[in-house]
């Protein structure tokens, strides 16, 4: 068992050159990162913790890494916040969240994974909910841990799958949290607990149960009100595909529905994927001081981790933080407006006719923000395929292919330089009534995030193509008209 002190010393010594990281996406200080944790505002800054294994670039004994930001696009590393060094969390400080106590201290709530000596292989642990209290830099685990023990799981729920508490404070000063649990039918469900002071908790109700339709176990819930609707975000494991809405394996689901005034009765009316790309999981949200609900996700998928070379000094990235809104009964996402301040060197083209393959002068790069509007170029004869290639070099590219007759948009990183037999393509169906396709593409050295039609859908993928491959080209098998604005991003 390695202590917090050891972790802090280790990360101090291991310096990764800035040019080996993305420019404006957060990566682990060193080693491995997965889920965002404790995404919150504290003492005038955004705090973001993350699932962290500093000693190597693979998932192992989970610590909490820590970073702060004033604008969500520049991050400063703080020392590792927690290590799994206590009896009740010796097998990992798993995901959780954070809030502020009335006395100004920061409260972290997380899942402690407790080892059971001689327990069944692969199941020799219990998961319980634990606390740590701190000043934004140093945290002390609560002497009364765990505060939600396995005895507090209702109706024969699993003692092994009980994790990822998301806490929030009510107007009356009391607290609630939602946490994921595997029910006796093996499916995930979301349990809601209440507390007057953040330390002493009671079970209140099952908020929502998976009827078997959305994978099996659910992970990393988040629950909030947005524009009068209740929103529940969950990340199911073991999903089965449903058209192009949901894909196999670990996915993300957003439920929108009615939420009673007391916030206790949630009735979903709509569900959708949160991200239609390859790499997005376990998102968590924070409320900004100006009232925006901002979501960040782990920009990786468990089944596709092999995309990254095992010898890399860091593995795992966070997505660009995204502002959430509801339109036409759907969740929309848009990059935080703070990113706009990093835009530099504008290049603009209007009404460019794309026929066959072509590139545009000055349009290239791997760290950029690009907005495109694609319209038919020939009223009589609609084109059948329009594609954009980026991160393009002699041998490599990643592409977006739009087939208007099928309303389908495909993100494809097959030729991005990956040597692994993992998923490299994903598609989504775009709005069928629209005359034009609008895309905002954000590239940052090792990733592409594509916001479709004003954020109605988002497709995210990591790409580890050599940085020299910075070409961008367009191809149409008929005629298309293109408006394009490109900015380089300068941090
Ligand atoms: N990752 C954490 C768990 C969570 C899972 C462990 C989701 O708390 O359920 O690193 O990626």
- Phi, psi values for residue 338, rounded to 5°: -60, -25
Q: In the chain, how many domains are there?
A: 2
Is residue 371 over pLDDT 90?
yes
Q: How confident is the model at residue 310 (pLDDT cuts 50, 70, 90)?
A: confident
Q: Report how far ligand 1's centroid is from the alpha carbon of 100 (Å).
A: 23
Residue 478 lies in domain: 343-489
Residue nearest to atom 9 of ligand 1 (CA): 219
Is residue 432 over pLDDT 90?
no
Chosen domain end from 282, 302, 335: 335
pTM value is 0.98
Is residue 271 over pLDDT 80?
yes
Residues 150 and 229 in one domain: yes
Q: Report how far residue 342's alpha carbon sits from residue 489's, in angstroms, rounded to the nearest whole number.
A: 5
Residues 253 and 167 in one domain: yes
Residues 298 and 376 in one domain: no
Chosen domain end from 284, 311, 335: 335
Residues 307 and 425 in one domain: no
CATH value at residue 426:
2.60.120.560
Residue 470: which of 413, 416, 353, 390 has the closest Cα? 390
Our answer on whether the CB atom of 282 is closer than 6 Å to any ligand 1 atom is yes
Chosen domain end from 335, 356, 383: 335
Q: Report how far residue 99's alpha carbon sits from residue 133's, in angstroms, rounded to the nearest whole number.
A: 10
Q: In the prediction, which pLDDT does 327 show? A: 97
Active site residues: 35
Residues 131 and 246 in one domain: yes
Residues 172 and 145 in one domain: yes
Residues 357 and 306 in one domain: no
Residues 316 and 364 in one domain: no
Q: In the prediction, which pLDDT does 122 show? A: 83
β-strand partners of 273: 253
- Of all residues in the chain, what percent are helix, strand and coil, respectively (each to 5)? 5, 50, 40
- Phi, psi values for residue 87, rounded to 5°: -55, -40
Residues 265 and 403 in one domain: no
Q: What is the mean pLDDT of residues 394-418?
A: 97
What is the edge-to-edge ordering of all strands in the sheet holding 229-236? Answer: 218-226, 229-236, 253-259, 266-273
Q: Report how far residue 367's alpha carbon sits from residue 442's, in angstroms, rounded to the nearest whole number.
A: 8
Q: Report how far ligand 1's centroid is from the alpha carbon of 319 (Å).
A: 17
Residues 305 and 378 in one domain: no
CATH value at residue 319:
2.115.10.20
Residues 445 and 473 in one domain: yes
pLDDT, tens only, 236-245: 999 999 999 9
Return all residues near 218 (Cβ < 8 A) that are at least 6 apart. Answer: 180, 188, 189, 190, 210, 234, 235, 236, 237
Residue 442: which of 392, 388, 368 has the closest Cα? 368
Q: Report how far ligand 1's centroid is from the alpha carbon of 412 (Å).
A: 27
Residues 131 and 159 in one domain: yes
- Phi, psi values for residue 12, rounded to 5°: -65, -40
């Amino acid at each position: 068992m390695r202590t917090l002190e050891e972790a802090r010393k280790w990360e101090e010594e291991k310096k990764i050159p800035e040019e080996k990281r993305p420019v404006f996406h957060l990566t682990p200080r060193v080693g491995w990162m997965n889920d965002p944790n404790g995404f919150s505002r504290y003492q005038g800054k955004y705090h973001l913790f993350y699932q962290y294994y500093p000693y190597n670039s693979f998932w192992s004994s989970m610590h909490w890494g820590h970073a702060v930001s004033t604008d969500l696009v520049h991050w400063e590393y703080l020392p590792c916040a927690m290590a799994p060094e206590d009896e009740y969390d010796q097998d990992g400080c798993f995901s959780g969240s954070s809030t502020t106590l009335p006395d100004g201290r920061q409260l972290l709530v997380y899942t402690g994974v407790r080892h059971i000596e001689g327990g069944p292989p692969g199941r020799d642990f219990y998961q319980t909910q634990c606390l740590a209290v701190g000043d934004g830099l140093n945290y002390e685990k609560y002497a009364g841990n765990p505060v939600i023990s396995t005895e507090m799981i209702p109706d024969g729920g699993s003692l092994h799958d009980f994790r990822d508490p998301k806490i929030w404070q009510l107007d009356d000063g009391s607290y609630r949290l939602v946490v994921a649990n595997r029910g006796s039918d093996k499916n995930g469900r979301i349990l809601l607990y209440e507390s007057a002071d953040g330390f002493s908790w009671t079970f209140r109700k099952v908020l929502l149960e998976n009827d078997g339709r959305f994978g099996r176990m659910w992970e990393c819930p988040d629950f909030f009100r947005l524009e009068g609707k209740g929103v529940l975000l969950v990340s199911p494991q073991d999903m089965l595909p449903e058209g192009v809405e949901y894909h196999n394996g670990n996915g993300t689901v957003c439920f929108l529905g009615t939420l009673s005034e007391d916030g206790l009765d949630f009735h979903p009316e709509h569900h959708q994927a949160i991200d239609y790309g390859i790499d997005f999981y376990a998102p968590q949200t924070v409320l900004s001081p100006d009232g925006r609900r901002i979501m960040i996700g782990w920009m990786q998928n468990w089944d596709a981790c092999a995309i990254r070379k095992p010898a890399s000094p860091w593995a795992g990235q966070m997505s660009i933080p995204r502002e959430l809104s509801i339109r036409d009964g759907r969740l929309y996402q848009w990059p935080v407006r703070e990113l706009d301040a990093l835009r530099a060197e504008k290049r603009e083209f209007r009404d460019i006719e794309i026929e066959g393959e072509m590139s545009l002068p000055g349009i290239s790069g791997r760290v950029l923000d690009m907005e495109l509007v694609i319209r038919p170029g020939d009223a009589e004869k609609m084109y059948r395929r329009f594609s954009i290639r980026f991160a393009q070099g002699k041998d490599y590219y990643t592409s977006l292919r739009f087939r208007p007759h099928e309303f389908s948009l495909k993100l494809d990183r097959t030729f991005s330089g990956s040597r692994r037999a993992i998923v490299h393509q994903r598609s989504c169906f775009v709005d069928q009534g629209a005359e034009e396709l609008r895309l905002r593409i954000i590239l940052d050295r090792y990733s592409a995030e594509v916001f479709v039609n004003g954020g109605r859908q988002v497709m995210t993928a990591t790409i580890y193509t050599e940085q020299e491959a910075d070409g961008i080209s367009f191809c149409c098998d008929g005629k298309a008209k293109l408006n394009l604005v490109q900015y380089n991003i300068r941090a």
